[in-house]
Homo-oligomer: A and B are copies of this chain.
């Protein structure tokens, strides 16, 4: 359950056998749950499966969720979900047991189960998108803390203690220095903005536009791209030093241009991380938005 769409599906083994997407407007439970409930029933019918043949329901939502499946906190999306308990909902609607998790954590479970983190016990997922999200597995288990935030604020490690103020209130977070949410402001703050190819672009500047301008030879776009690559690279080293992972998986919309991003991060890590050369794999997500669907299997197994 994301801010712009909700994907739901039926998973068998390591395969998604049916899936649908709901476009989301208000990003509230009031909007989404009725569609989700009828959609799940329709998907089961279409797949010739009875609900009682299912192992359970796994929910991933862009929120902080406790181990009992209750939403503890949100950040502008699904604000009406605070206090909502997904297992109770699932039991009453489908007579199926249910576990709920933060969507990024569920996606990392999926990548470890059947994607880019397969075969690794210590793994970090970083999503470069509107914000910068994160999740951490150590010893094959999601990092747990009483505040439910351990490993989840990867984008809010500082990269510049004199840097820009972040939406979280901190100064110089990676998210404030290089994410879609901050990119437009970062560009417009530059002195040379008015004379650059970026100034002529309609609407908010996102990474697609930044890459297009850089590809077209715009000097400022190139410079800002280098800035973002530097920030992401420095963040990656901090994540290696913080969690000592065997692999860091990069996902999120910005990774559509992974060929222009991952080699720079890999080179920086080889030069600057306190780790044996080649010992930390820097890889793109293999499963994309399917990762969270496949994460249902390990989540319901209780291995999380």
Q: Which residues of A contact B (CB under 8 A)?
A: 121-122, 138-139, 143-153, 156-162, 168-173, 230-231, 233-235, 237-238, 241-246, 271-275, 279
Contact = CB atoms under 8 A, between A and B. Distances in A.
Contacts of A145: 122, 138-139, 243-245
Number of identical protomers: 2
Given A158-B238, A160-B160, A161-B234, A148 B244 contact: yes
Contacts of A230: 161-162
Nearest to A139: B144
Given A159-B158, A238-B157, A241-B156, A138 B147 contact: no
Contacts of A275: 147
A272 B231 CA distance: 20
A60 B156 CA distance: 32
A122 B146 CA distance: 7
Given A237-B158, A246-B146, A169 B138 contact: no
A168 B274 contact: yes
A272 B168 CA distance: 8
10 contacts: A122-B145, A139-B145, A149-B241, A156-B241, A160-B162, A169-B273, A170-B241, A170-B273, A172-B234, A173-B241
A303 to B, nearest CB: 16
A126 B151 CA distance: 18
Given A144-B139, A150-B243, A274 B156 contact: yes
Given A138-B143, A149-B244, 12 more contacts: A145-B244, A147-B275, A147-B279, A148-B244, A156-B238, A158-B234, A158-B238, A159-B160, A160-B161, A161-B231, A169-B271, A173-B241
